[in-house]
Structure formats: C-alpha cells, structure tokens
Amino acid sequence: MDQKLNITYIRLDGYVELDKYRFVYFVIMFTAYILIICSNSTIVCLIVIHKNLHEPMYIFIAALLMNSLLLTTALYPKILFDVLSEKQIISYLACLFQWFTTYSLAGSEFLLLAAMSYDRYVSICKPLQYPTIMSKINICILLVVTWILPAGQLGMSVALNANIKLCSFTLKGIFCNNSIYKCQCVSSGALSIYGVFMLANIALLPLLFILFTYTRILLISYRSCKTVRNKAAQTCLPHLLVLINFSCFVTYDVVVVRLESDFPKTARLIMTLQVILYHPLFNPVIYGLKMKEISKHLKKLLFQVKSH
C-alpha cells in the first residue's frame, strides 16, 4: 500500500518464470493481440459494408465480435505492460474496474448468444412472423439490454466491494478475476448471494434459454424437409460451437477460484492463456469459415488482396 497517496496495490502473481521467458511472453501476447484485432475487425467491417449481410443474424455476429474486441482491449494492454515491467502490480480500484469490464462483457456474450439463438428459433420455427418479431427496433432493444443488464448488475457489485478491507495483496493470476475475493479479510454472505444471483441472471438463465431454443429447433428440423434441416445445421452449428467453447472457459474460471490452493501455477497459467488467446480467435474463425455468406465475402477480400 502507498501510504502517502492511500492507494492499495495488488500484486499479480500468475506468471511462471517471467524473468526468463519475458520476451517469449511478450511476442506471444502481442502477436495474439494483433491477430484478434485484425480477424474480428475484418468480419465486422464485411458485415457493415455489404448490404446483404444487414440481417439480424449477421448484426448479432458483428455485436459478438465487437464484444470480443472490447474484452481483449480490457486485458491485453495491461498484460503487455506487465510482461515488460519489473513489478506486476495494479491498484485495487483499477483491479475492480478490470474485473467489472471483463465479467460485464462475458455476461454480454452469454446474452448475445441467447439473442442469436432466439433469432434462429424465430427464423426456423416461425418464418412467417420473422420480419415482425425481428424488426430493427426489437434488434436495437436486444443489443442495448445485452450490454446494459450485465454492466448494471456488476456495477452494483463493484460499488459494494470498493471499500471492503483486504488482508492479502497477492492475486494468483495475470489479470483481475474472481480470485480478488480471496484477498478480502472477511467473506461477505450478502455479496456471495448477490454473486450467485448475477451468475444465474447473466449466465445460467441465458444458457438454459439457449438450450431450450435449440432443442425446439432440433425437434422441428427433424420433422421438416431436408432444406429446413440444412438451414438449421448451417446457421446453428457455429453458434453452438461458440457457446460450448465459451461455456467451458467460464466454467473453468468459476471452478478454479474454489480450487485455487490445489491448482498448480503452471496449469493455471496455461488455462488462463487459453481463455484470453484461444476464445477471441475462435469466434472469427468459426463465423468466417462456417457462415456461408461471410465466408464468400471473406474469400473475395483475400483474392483482392492477393491480386494487388
């Protein structure tokens, strides 16, 4: 703690042999950051530029990829700075802000995936009502809710945690996640209950809704003609792959806090790097390759780049 400025600092103790592998860490993280920005931005730009991609499904994909860009930007600059620094520290308030940004955007991702599953459900199960239900106004409302709802709930949690006394000033991670609770002197029962409420509200309920909608799509597709089944497979499979991938990482993040003392440091670092490296690159690859219209425009773009 800096007594003069009355600022509490947290030490990030998640790196393994940083002094020895500092350059390797930096090259990997910087390369990944550039790839994430380029791949996600390219598909977002394609969706914005081409009018035939101005449909609800592609708008939600663009929002999901923008969400990945925001999440990456909340983490990578600080990580790159830490890798080059002698001390890996962050002020407690900055740590809470990073925690807020990370989990707010993670919650938005679940809600965006839920909105995408609803869009596919209406498209396949209620095609005649699709233009009315998925109107521009309704899409705007869904997008606003997906970003405002998690931010509002987590903002309340940050306000409640800001003045809690800390007894530990070392965080076993490379960025601020749920492990911050381990630094608090006393575990608040009210905050724990509120945390469970938030988890249910912005993760579990959207997940159950997604499973319900895809179950309905599966049942209706099974009873329908081959064309409907092909449409369902082409548009729903990428969403399901992204959902499974993201759910696995969120489950890891929740579980590792409970098993923190028994979880090897190297294994924890490898898993954390997979979360922040793999997932933001997974989304644009899946949507770029699996979504027919996006893939077509992407191939045209690559052909134009090669020809020049």
Residue 131 is part of which domain span?
A: 9-307
- Give tens-digit pLDDT for 226-278: 776 777 777 777 788 888 878 877 777 777 666 655 677 888 888 888 888 88
Give the strand pairing for 89-91 and 9-12. Answer: antiparallel
Whether 3 is in a domain gets the answer: no
pLDDT more than 90, % of the chain: 37
CATH number of the domain to which 144 belongs? 1.20.1070.10
CA distances 244 to 23, 81, 119, 182, 205, Å, are 33, 31, 18, 28, 15
Rounded Cα–Cα distance for residues 238 and 106 (Å): 18
Look at residue 308 in the predicted model and tell me its pLDDT.
61
- pTM comes to 0.89
Which residues, including other chains, have CB under 8 Å from residue 283's CB and lie 6 or more apart?
40, 64, 65, 68, 242
Task: Determine phi and psi for 91, rounding to 5 degrees.
Answer: -65, 155
Domains held by the chain: number: 1
Whether 118 is in a domain gets the answer: yes
Whether 42 is in a domain gets the answer: yes
Average pLDDT estimate for 119-139 = 90
Rounded Cα–Cα distance for residues 273 and 174 (Å): 9
Look at residue 4 in the predicted model and tell me its pLDDT.
46
Look at residue 72 in the predicted model and tell me its pLDDT.
92
Residue 140 — very low, low, confident or very high, per pLDDT cuts 50/70/90? Answer: very high
Whether 231 is in a domain gets the answer: yes
Look at residue 3 in the predicted model and tell me its pLDDT.
46
Look at residue 6 in the predicted model and tell me its pLDDT.
56
| Torsion sign, CA atoms 126, 131, 133, 134 | positive
Whether 2 is in a domain gets the answer: no
